[in-house]
Structure formats: C-alpha cells, structure tokens
Chains A and B, each alone.
Chain A
Amino acid sequence: MATKLVVNCSTGTTTEVELTAEEVAQREVDSAAYATAEAARQAQVTAKASAKASATAKLKALGLSDAEIEALV
C-alpha cells in the first residue's frame, strides 16, 4: 500500500500514513491522465520534427543552402 509523509507543523511530529481508498483512486486517475498527456506530448514532438524535416527538404529542393535554411527555420 502506498503511503504519504505527514508533518504536523504545530507539534513537529512526522508520521507515515497509508493512503485512503479515495487517494489511491485519485492516483490511478492521475496516472492515466499522465499517460495520455505524455503520449500527446510525444506525438507533438514527433510531428514537429517531421514537419521540420519536410520543410527543410522542400527548401533544399528550391536551391537554398544549409546556412540559408538554418537562418529561416
């Protein structure tokens, strides 16, 4: 069972407490949301890299040098 560390700032006492069923459920929701968000982030990075490579190839086909392309992209 996952736990959390709780410090009572008034007494200075720190305790390790098991998560409640509600907290465990929320962690599972958060974890699923993270997986979805991470997949979207990765897809965005891949799409951006792909678009950049495509744009670079098209600019080269037009006769631009690598230095000229670098100045534009």
Chain B
Amino acid sequence: MAAHNLISTITVGSGGSATIDFTNIPQTYTDLLVVSSLRTDAAVGYQTSRMKINGSTSNMTVKNMYGAGGGPGSATITTYLLVGYITGSSATANVFNSQNTYIPNYAGATYKSISSESTANNNSTTLYAMDISVGLWSQTAAITSLSLYPESGSWAQYSTASLYGIKNS
C-alpha cells in the first residue's frame, strides 16, 4: 500500500472561517488526498462543498451522482468544482460531514482529475445526503494550493481538513 504522509491539518476556531486553504503544497508526492469533516453555518440541512485549485474555479467539469431529500439524481457542473455535500446549521447539532477528495498526479503537466465521496450526516432519518463525483480541471499547471469553501456561509467551529501526500514508492 502506498504511504500516506500527513502534510497538514486545519481545525476551524470559534469565529468560523470562510475557506480552508492549503498553500505551498510540496511537489514531492505522487497524489494528494484531502480528508475532511465539515459543517457550514448556513441555515440549511445540507448543501454543496466546493474546492478551488490554485485559486481557480475555471476550466472545471464535474459529473456527480447524489442521493438527497428530493431523491437520487445526477448532474454535470462546469461553473465550480463540487467535492461533496456538507451538513448545515439546520441539521442536528454537532454533526459534521465526512468527505474524501483524491487528486492523482497533482504535480504533473497534464489535466488533473479529481474524485470525491461524501456524506452529509445528520444522525437522524431525515435531512441527509450523499454524493460521489468525478471532476476534471482542464489545466496543466502543477497544483500548489487547494481551497475548500461551502456553497454559502462559512465553515463552522471544529470543522477539520487534513491534507495527505501519497507516494507510490
């Protein structure tokens, strides 16, 4: 199994945070993995979690499959990089989502693929959602920064995100 090396972890403090940014990402690994547990302060049961690569939301294409309150569905998105569904402030208190985002060959000179899976937990039989998505960032630049942000509002206190570098050898 490839080694997972923790690069950094961020936990949001009492004031909340609009985004969680990993900058100056070392170019010494093969792949990147972002493991996060997130909640937004927006007054919703759940909403989407998004990511900027090198500060950009352009040249993105995402296909996703989701299960949510209105039933299962799928979508194609080109205006932002969807990486999951997150729990909102209308959900059960102190419940956070679970979200993994994998980015292979992030330091290479080819277009970058991104795959994500998430569950917007609620510790309840209602107001929950899950998502599996695959995306393409049609840019050849090496990835040096990642920014996680909610569809609206800010990350709530105790939201965490950890960035891992994966080495194939």
Chain A residues within CB distance 8 Å of chain B: 2-12, 14, 16, 19, 23, 27, 30-31, 34-35, 38, 41, 44-45, 48
Find out whether the CB atom of B151 lies under 8 angstroms from the CB atom of A10.
no
Closest chain B residue to A46 by CB distance? B70
Distance from A27 Cβ to chain B, minimum over Cβ atoms (Å):
7
Find out whether the CB atom of B8 lies under 8 angstroms from the CB atom of A16.
no
Distance from A15 Cβ to chain B, minimum over Cβ atoms (Å):
10
Q: B interface, how many residues as a size bin?
A: 20 to 34
Of B10, B15, B18, which one neighbours A7 at CB under 8 angstroms?
B10
- For the complex of A and B, the 10 pairs showing the least CB-CB separation, nearest first, are A10-B24, A34-B152, A4-B19, A6-B21, A5-B17, A2-B18, A45-B70, A4-B18, A7-B8, A9-B25
Secondary structure at chain A's binding surface: helix, strand, loop or mixed?
mixed
By a CB distance below 8 angstroms, the chain A residues around B12 are: 5
By a CB distance below 8 angstroms, the chain B residues around A44 are: 70
Closest chain A residue to B42 by CB distance? A34
* B132 contacts partner chain A, Cβ-Cβ < 8 Å: no
Find out whether the CB atom of A34 lies under 8 angstroms from the CB atom of B151.
yes
By a CB distance below 8 angstroms, the chain A residues around B18 are: 2-4, 19, 23, 27
Q: Which residues of chain B from 57 to 86 have any CB-CB distance to chain A below 8 Å in the complex? A: 69-70
Total A-B pairs, Cβ < 8 A: 61
Find out whether the CB atom of B22 lies under 8 angstroms from the CB atom of A16.
no
Find out whether the CB atom of A5 lies under 8 angstroms from the CB atom of B152.
no
By a CB distance below 8 angstroms, the chain B residues around A14 are: 8, 10
* B134 contacts partner chain A, Cβ-Cβ < 8 Å: no
Q: How far is the CA of A10 from the CA of B145 in the complex (A)?
A: 11
Find out whether the CB atom of B22 lies under 8 angstroms from the CB atom of A38.
no
Q: How far is the CA of A2 from the CA of B150 in the complex (A)?
A: 14
By a CB distance below 8 angstroms, the chain B residues around A9 are: 7-8, 22-26, 163
Of A2, A11, A12, A38, which one neighbours B154 at CB under 8 angstroms?
A2
